[in-house]
C-alpha cells in the first residue's frame, strides 16, 4: 500500500509536560498549576530567579556577595542557585557563604555541619561568626539567663548585626538571604495585624540599602541586603531541593516559640489551598500599602549616627544590641524589651546603680516583636510530606 510503513504509530504521551510536550509531567507547579517534567521545572524555577535578579538590578559585575547560609532548605537552594546562575549568566560575582553561630546546642551545631558540607560541595568559601565571640553570650547562655520568653528578640537583633559584622570582615558589598515568598507574605500579614507600617515597608523591599533607623527602631546598615527568592514559593524550593537531591538540614530551632508567625503561616497555607496566587497577591498588597506609607510624611526617618559603644549604625546613643547586652551584663535582661517608659526607668536605675551620669536615649527601644527569625515549622519530614500531597505522576 502506498505510503504504508512498518513503523507502529506512536501512542500519544500520557500527561505530557506542558512546556516541552515530549516527556511525561511528574509534578504540578504549586505557583501556576502547570504540569511539568523535572527538567522543565528546573528551567522555569532557575529562570524566574534569574529574572528577579536582573529586573531588580540586584548586583553589579564584580560584586562580592555573601550568602547568608543556615544549612536550611532556603539558604541551601539559594547557595546552589546563586552559583549556578553566576556561572550560567556570567554575573561576575564573588560568592562567599556567611553563617551565624547563635550557640544553640542540638540545632545550630548540626546545621553548621550541613553548611560546611555545602562549602565543599559548591566550592564556595565559608565564614562562621558566633554570638559567643561577638557578644560574649551564646543563645544557650541567654536562654539560661532570661528563659524562653523574648529569646528571639535577642537573637534577631544580634543576628542582624552579626551578619553585618561578618560582611565587614569579608569585605563584601552585599548579603543575599533565603527569605522566600511565603516568608514575606507571612511577614506582610503579621505587620498588617500589628499595624506596623514601617516594618511593612521594609519587609516588602527586595533590596534594602538605607543607612538609617526607622521610627520603629529597626537598625539598618550600609551593606546591601536582598532577597532573590522574594517571589519563589516555599513548596517549589522544597521540590527543587528534593529533585536536585540537595544536602540540607531541617529541624526547628529548639527555642522557637512558634506563636504569632505560626498562626500567620497556617492562615496563609489555608488561603493558598483555595487560591494558589494568594501568596503573591499578599506580597503585591504589601508593596502597594508600603508605597503609600512611603509617601506619608509621618514615617520620615530619624537622623543617623553611630553607637557610642560599638560604632554600629544607630539613631540612639547605644544601638539596640548594645542596649540588650547591657541588660544581660547587668542582670537586667528586660532592658531593651517592652515598653519605652518601663525601659527608661530600668535603665536609669541601672545607670544610677553603676554610677553612669548620662542616661542613654531610649526613644526607639520599643519591643521588637518581629525580630524573631522565621520560625521553621516545616521539618524535613513535613517538607517531604508536602511533596507527597502534591499531585505527581499518577494524579496529574
Ligand atoms: Fe534565634 Fe530563630 Fe531560634 Fe528564635 S527561633 S532563638 S530567632 S534561631
Ligand atoms: Zn552598639
Structural domain contains residue 7 = no
Structural domain contains residue 252 = yes
My answer on whether 377 and 355 are in the same domain is: no
My answer on whether 284 and 156 are in the same domain is: yes
pLDDT at 257: 73
Distances (CA, A) of 330 to 77, 327, 335, 366: 41, 5, 9, 19
Cα distance between residue 151 and residue 86, in whole Å: 37
Structural domain contains residue 25 = no
pLDDT at 165: 93
pLDDT at 306: 84
Alpha carbons within 13 A on the beta-carbon side of 183: 24
| CATH assignment of the domain containing 220 | 3.40.50.620
Distances (CA, A) of 365 to 12, 117, 223, 340, 342: 66, 39, 23, 6, 10
My answer on whether 237 and 185 are in the same domain is: yes
Ligand number nearest CA of 325 is: 2
Residue nearest to atom 1 of ligand 1 (CA): 155
Q: What is the DSSP letter of 360?
A: P
Structural domain contains residue 189 = yes
The residue among 297, 368, 354, 289 whose CA lies nearest residue 326 is 354
Cα distance between residue 238 and residue 383, in whole Å: 6
My answer on whether 182 and 89 are in the same domain is: yes
The pocket around ligand 1, CB under 6 angstroms, is made up of 102, 139, 151-152, 155-156, 253, 255-256, 372-373, 375
Q: Give residue-wise pLDDT tens across range 312-338.
A: 878 788 888 898 998 888 888 777 775
Residue nearest to atom 8 of ligand 1 (CA): 253
Structural domain contains residue 34 = no
The domain tally of the chain equals: 2
My answer on whether 356 and 385 are in the same domain is: no
| Residue range of the domain that includes 377 | 42-299+373-389
Tell me, in angstroms, the distance from the centre of ligand 1 to residue 373's CA: 6
Residue 336 annotated in ligand binding? no
Residue nearest to atom 4 of ligand 1 (CA): 152
Cα distance between residue 180 and residue 237, in whole Å: 9
Residues of the chain with pLDDT under 70: 1-9, 209-221, 258-259, 296-303, 338-396
Contact 176, 227 (CB under 8 A): yes
My answer on whether 265 and 322 are in the same domain is: no
Residue 94 CA, chain-centre distance (Å), reads 21
Cα distance between residue 131 and residue 300, in whole Å: 32
pLDDT at 251: 82
Cα distance between residue 202 and residue 191, in whole Å: 10
pLDDT at 300: 53
My answer on whether 209 and 324 are in the same domain is: no
C-alpha cell at 395: 494524579
Q: Which strands sit side by side in the sheet containing 94-101, from one edge to the other?
A: 126-130, 94-101, 64-68, 174-176, 224-226, 207-208
My answer on whether 175 and 261 are in the same domain is: yes
pLDDT at 262: 80
pLDDT at 361: 29
Q: pTM of the predicted model, to two decimals? A: 0.78
pLDDT at 301: 52
Shortest-distance atom of ligand 1 to CA 376: 5
DSSP element (H, E) containing 89: none
Residue nearest to atom 2 of ligand 1 (CA): 373
392 phi/psi in degrees, rounded to 5: -120, -160
pLDDT at 358: 32
Q: Give residue-wise pLDDT tens across range 276-306.
A: 899 999 999 988 888 877 776 555 555 677 8
Amino acid at each position: 500500500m502506498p505510503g504504508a510503513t512498518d513503523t507502529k504509530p506512536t501512542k500519544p504521551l500520557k500527561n505530557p509536560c506542558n512546556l516541552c510536550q515530549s516527556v511525561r509531567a511528574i509534578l504540578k507547579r504549586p505557583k501556576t498549576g502547570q504540569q511539568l517534567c523535572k527538567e522543565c521545572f528546573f528551567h522555569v524555577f532557575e529562570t524566574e530567579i534569574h529574572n528577579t535578579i536582573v529586573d531588580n538590578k540586584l548586583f553589579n559585575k564584580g560584586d562580592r556577595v555573601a550568602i547568608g547560609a543556615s544549612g536550611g532548605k532556603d539558604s541551601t537552594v539559594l547557595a546552589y542557585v546563586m552559583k549556578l546562575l553566576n556561572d550560567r549568566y556570567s554575573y561576575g560575582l564573588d560568592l562567599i557563604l556567611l553563617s551565624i553561630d547563635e550557640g544553640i546546642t542540638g540545632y545550630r551545631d548540626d546545621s553548621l555541619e550541613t553548611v560546611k558540607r555545602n562549602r565543599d560541595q559548591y566550592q564556595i568559601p565559608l565564614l562562621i561568626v558566633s554570638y559567643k565571640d561577638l557578644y560574649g553570650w551564646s543563645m544557650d547562655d541567654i536562654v539560661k539567663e532570661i528563659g524562653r520568653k523574648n529569646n528571639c528578640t535577642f537573637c534577631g537583633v544580634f543576628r542582624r548585626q552579626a551578619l553585618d559584622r561578618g560582611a565587614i570582615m569579608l569585605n563584601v558589598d552585599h548579603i543575599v538571604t533565603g527569605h522566600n515568598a511565603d516568608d514575606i507574605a507571612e511577614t506582610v500579614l503579621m505587620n498588617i495585624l500589628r499595624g506596623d507600617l514601617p516594618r511593612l515597608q521594609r519587609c516588602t523591599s527586595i533590596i534594602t540599602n538605607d543607612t538609617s533607623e526607622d521610627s520603629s527602631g529597626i537598625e539598618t546598615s550600609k551593606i546591601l541586603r536582598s532577597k532573590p527568592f522574594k517571589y519563589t514559593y516555599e513548596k517549589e524550593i522544597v521540590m527543587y531541593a528534593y529533585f536536585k537531591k540537595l544536602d540540607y538540614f531541617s529541624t526547628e530551632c529548639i527555642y522557637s516559640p512558634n506563636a504569632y508567625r505560626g498562626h500567620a503561616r497556617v492562615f496563609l497555607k489555608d488561603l493558598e489551598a483555595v487560591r494558589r496566587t494568594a501568596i503573591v497577591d499578599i506580597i503585591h498588597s504589601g508593596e502597594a500599602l508600603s508605597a503609600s506609607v512611603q509617601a506619608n510624611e509621618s514615617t520620615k526617618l530619624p537622623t543617623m549616627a553611630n553607637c557610642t559603644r560599638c560604632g554600629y549604625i544607630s539613631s540612639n546613643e547605644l544601638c539596640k544590641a548594645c542596649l540588650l547586652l547591657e541588660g544581660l551584663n547587668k542582670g537586667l535582661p528586660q532592658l531593651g524589651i517592652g515598653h519605652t517608659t518601663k525601659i527608661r526607668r530600668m535603665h536609669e536605675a541601672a545607670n544610677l546603680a553603676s554610677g553612669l551620669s548620662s542616661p542613654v536615649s531610649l526613644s526607639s527601644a520599643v519591643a521588637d516583636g518581629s525580630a524573631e527569625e522565621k520560625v521553621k515549622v516545616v521539618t524535613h519530614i513535613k517538607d517531604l510530606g508536602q511533596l507527597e500531597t502534591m499531585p505527581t505522576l499518577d494524579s496529574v
